[in-house]
Amino acid sequence: MTIPELIDVHAAWLPPEAFRAIGSRRVLVHADGPLAETVRDEVVHACGLYGGSVPHPVSDQVGDQQVDLVLALSSMAALPAVAEEVRGEALREFGPDACGAEGFVLACRDGVTVVLADEPAGLLYGLFQVVRLGESAFGSARPVERHRPATRRRMIDHWDNIDVHPVMGQVERGYAGGSIFWQNGALRGDLTRVRAYGRLLAACGVNAVAVNNVNVHAAEARLLTDRLGDVVAIADALRPYGIRVHLSVNFASPIALGGLPTADPLDESVREWWARTTERVYATIPDFGGYLVKADSEGQPGPFAYGRSHADGANMLADAAAPFGGVVHWRAFVYNHRQDWRDRSTDRARAAFDHFAPLDGRFRDNAILQVKHGPMDFQVREPLSPVIAALPATRLAVEFQVTQEYTGQQRHVCYLAPMWSETLGFRPWGDGGRTVADVVADGPAAGGAGDLVAVSNVGDDPFWTGHPLAQANLYAFGRLAWAPRTDPVAILDEWIDLTFVPSATGDPERLRRTLHEMMDESWTTYERYTAPLGVGFMVRPGHHYGPDVDGYEYTPWGTYHFADRDGVGVDRTRASGTGFTGQYPPPWSDVYESLTECPDELLLFFHHVPYGHVLHDGSTVVQHIYDTHFEGAERVAETRLRWEKLAGDGLVAPELHARVKERLDEQLRSAEEWRDQVNAYFFRKSGVPDAHGRRIH
């Protein structure tokens, strides 16, 4: 296999220079199997670039070979002496199943760096860990450390269509060009870029990809049957990097593709159709991951049409996939998108819990309920979805959105890892209880580990993600899915060190500092100049970019802020509102219910308050809105200046500098627009002037 490097596409976090430390050394790869071949090819390639060597592991001489790096399966009969020592120590310290299917141990002693894994996938991840460490992996002693992923599946969901959809484009909510898989209605002829993508994903720990949009249109539905060849080719391209392919399927496929009169999940002919179809999929792609389903949601068909539950629907597909070890990711994003805005009793935030909590314990072991991390829809600030704490006997996947639908659409810098990290570290049962990361990692008592999933932000753009700095979100998702407790600032450091530092001339410290200043707090900066205090939306309907405070106020989508001349916010209390607070376990059911205890940043998500309501920091709601909006736009102006100062110093490539600069110009324009519209709106509604006398239009 050749290493899929692309000359006309940005190398992202795997520039050739990132392999210099490995490529200039003597490296022994002692392992068998296809993924081991990938490891070997990577090392051979790196050594070809930087003058290192890759001696053949001739078994009776392995022990004597003089090398700097050993990448070996722990089951190999003969290992170099130092690797034998590491193996013994790992066994003593971590027991016989030290690494599992994907983990590895890493140590450095007597000047030799050793990576041992039980399975080849672990070696692949171990190799990329050495890439991350660079020179620091070598030379100085390093005690045996074990790395194992916290989650079983670390999955990226593409919302790619084969065809260009008249409203949504080719990639739904995609801000980085067309699909990397399809072009002009057909699979791309050259899938080198897909292989390069798989390599990038493996380097941050991702091991599963769903290739098509959860809104499954007519052409894409056929990926399950007569267009399965497309999926085969994508699976072939991603497999060398340990990535399994999943497919979004249309619940009504038995009708649309099978010619049956019904898609009723309890109908024998329907079950039979799915069983046969799934058998064919696995006969063609034996390591196929499984199905992803959006049912009874935003117009997609589902089991409700037949009076069946979502457990009935999910279990039918789970049964079809079970004989082959496949899984079904069944999305909990189910709500009424045709609500009457005059109806104050319906609350979209309640919907997922109301639908799914009563079904706990009724899902098969291989049916995984995929839950958006917040109860609404990937807003810049939401509380945790109460569904995550409500189904102890159901396997869960938590879904994040790497694509920046509501967070600046890859025109704004918005590093999302701090938000995800906050979610993963949240304790739904209060202090001392388990975190979301624990819930996902441990799974239900009777099940197994769960998954972390995110919607892709990648397209055929030369920088992969439109905004080059948005690459950090994809990288960070993979790293957090592997190790949810990792500090997002440390992840950003890794990303900078891989992406920019190896090829930078000049002062990398300055570059690192500038990028941290621009990105560390970019999420809360975005929050400052957009919808305030957790109220959400206020975006232009349809495309969701830019401000439109009342844009969704009188629509059927269930996304309201209820601002009037006296106050703003959604009353979701049990006492006087929709009762949503009651979906949380204590202490949060009480904390969110209480006007005094509710955290400020979520105040308007849970309460309708007067503009003069005083926040914990002593400011009033309306003054807070003015202050944060002025401050948010100012921060963007500073970010833009910081980036400008990096021009022409050899720290970043000129094309990349120009692309980021163009995006920052737009971000500033947009942030000022947000500031002015939101401030003007609340000034006009409330009549309360800004305490600092700043200009409000």
Task: With H, G, I as helix, E, B as strand and everything else as coil, classify residue 145.
Answer: strand
Say which of 377, 460, 593, 627 is annotated catalytic: 377
Using CB under 6 A as the binding rule, the residues of this chain from 188 to 217 that contact ligand GCV are 214-215
Beta carbon nearer to ligand GCV, 12 or 216: 216
List the strands of the sheet with 27-30, edge to edge: 27-30, 69-73, 112-117, 104-109, 142-147
N-terminal to C-terminal alpha carbon distance within the chain? 61
Strand residue runs (E) in 496-579: 567-568
Tokens linked to 205: 């720990």
| Beta carbon of residue 256, minimum distance to ligand GCV (angstroms, whole number) | 19
DSSP string computed for 25-77? SBEEEE--SHHHHHHHHHHHHHHHHHT-B-----GGGGGG---SEEEEETT-S
Match 């995609």 to its residue by tokens. 174
What lies within 8 Å, CB to CB, of 350 at 6+ separation is 375, 578, 579, 580, 583
- Amino acid identity of residue 304, one-letter, is F
| Beta carbon of residue 495, minimum distance to ligand GCV (angstroms, whole number) | 26
Using CB under 6 A as the binding rule, the residues of this chain from 365 to 384 that contact ligand GCV are 377
CA nearest neighbour of 204 among 456, 388, 553: 456
Q: Report the alpha-carbon distance of residue 153 to residue 368 in Å, rounded.
A: 11
Q: Report the alpha-carbon distance of residue 215 to residue 159 in Å, rounded.
A: 8
Give the interface size with ligand GCV as a residue count (CB under 6 A): 9
Task: Decide the pairing of beta strands 112-117 and 69-73.
Answer: parallel
Is 159 a binding residue for ligand GCV by CB under 6 A? The answer is yes
CA nearest neighbour of 198 among 51, 12, 391, 428: 12
Cis bond upstream, residue 587 (ω within 30): yes
267 has catalytic annotation: no
Tokens linked to 229: 């060849």
Beta carbon nearer to ligand GCV, 104 or 333: 333
Is 605 a binding residue for ligand GCV by CB under 6 A? The answer is no
Beta carbon nearer to ligand GCV, 173 or 675: 173
Beta carbon nearer to ligand GCV, 213 or 623: 213
Beta carbon nearer to ligand GCV, 332 or 519: 332
DSSP string computed for 216-281? --HHHHGGGTTTHHHHHHHHHHHGGGT-EEEEE--TTHHHHTT--S---TT-HHHHHHHHHHHHHH
Beta carbon nearer to ligand GCV, 159 or 400: 159
| Beta carbon of residue 214, minimum distance to ligand GCV (angstroms, whole number) | 5
Q: Is there a contact between 55 and 28 (Cβ–Cβ < 8 Å)? A: yes
Task: With H, G, I as helix, E, B as strand and everything else as coil, classify residue 151.
Answer: coil
| Beta carbon of residue 296, minimum distance to ligand GCV (angstroms, whole number) | 12
Say which of 135, 145, 298, 487 is annotated catalytic: 298
CA nearest neighbour of 106 among 134, 81, 79, 127: 127
Binding residue (CB under 6 A) for ligand GCV from 273, 274, 288, 333: 333
| Beta carbon of residue 333, minimum distance to ligand GCV (angstroms, whole number) | 5
Tokens linked to 590: 């009480």
| Beta carbon of residue 179, minimum distance to ligand GCV (angstroms, whole number) | 14
- Amino acid identity of residue 277, one-letter, is T
Site string for ligand GCV, 493-512 (x = CB under 6 A): --------------------
84 has catalytic annotation: no
Q: Is there a contact between 479 and 493 (Cβ–Cβ < 8 Å)? A: no
Is 179 a binding residue for ligand GCV by CB under 6 A? The answer is no
Give the distance between the most distant pair of CA atoms in the chain: 85
| Beta carbon of residue 523, minimum distance to ligand GCV (angstroms, whole number) | 19
| Beta carbon of residue 414, minimum distance to ligand GCV (angstroms, whole number) | 17
Is 102 a binding residue for ligand GCV by CB under 6 A? The answer is no
| Beta carbon of residue 454, minimum distance to ligand GCV (angstroms, whole number) | 12
Q: Report the alpha-carbon distance of residue 490 to residue 501 in Å, rounded.
A: 15
Site string for ligand GCV, 54-93 (x = CB under 6 A): ----------------------------------------
CA nearest neighbour of 54 among 21, 32, 80, 28: 28
Beta carbon nearer to ligand GCV, 288 or 406: 406
Using CB under 6 A as the binding rule, the residues of this chain from 569 to 598 that contact ligand GCV are none
Where on the phi/psi map is residue 286: left (φ > 0), alpha (ψ -120 to 50), or beta? alpha
Site string for ligand GCV, 290-329 (x = CB under 6 A): ----x---x-------------------------------
Say which of 230, 296, 405, 451 is annotated catalytic: 405
Q: Is there a contact between 28 and 42 (Cβ–Cβ < 8 Å)? A: no
| Beta carbon of residue 579, minimum distance to ligand GCV (angstroms, whole number) | 24
Binding residue (CB under 6 A) for ligand GCV from 172, 296, 451, 527: 172
93 has catalytic annotation: no
Site string for ligand GCV, 391-430 (x = CB under 6 A): ----------------------------------------
Is 173 a binding residue for ligand GCV by CB under 6 A? The answer is yes
Beta carbon nearer to ligand GCV, 43 or 214: 214
Beta carbon nearer to ligand GCV, 214 or 231: 214
Beta carbon nearer to ligand GCV, 336 or 503: 336
**Residues acting as catalytic residues:** 298, 377, 405
Positions touching ligand GCV (CB under 6 A) are 159, 172-173, 214-215, 294, 298, 333, 377
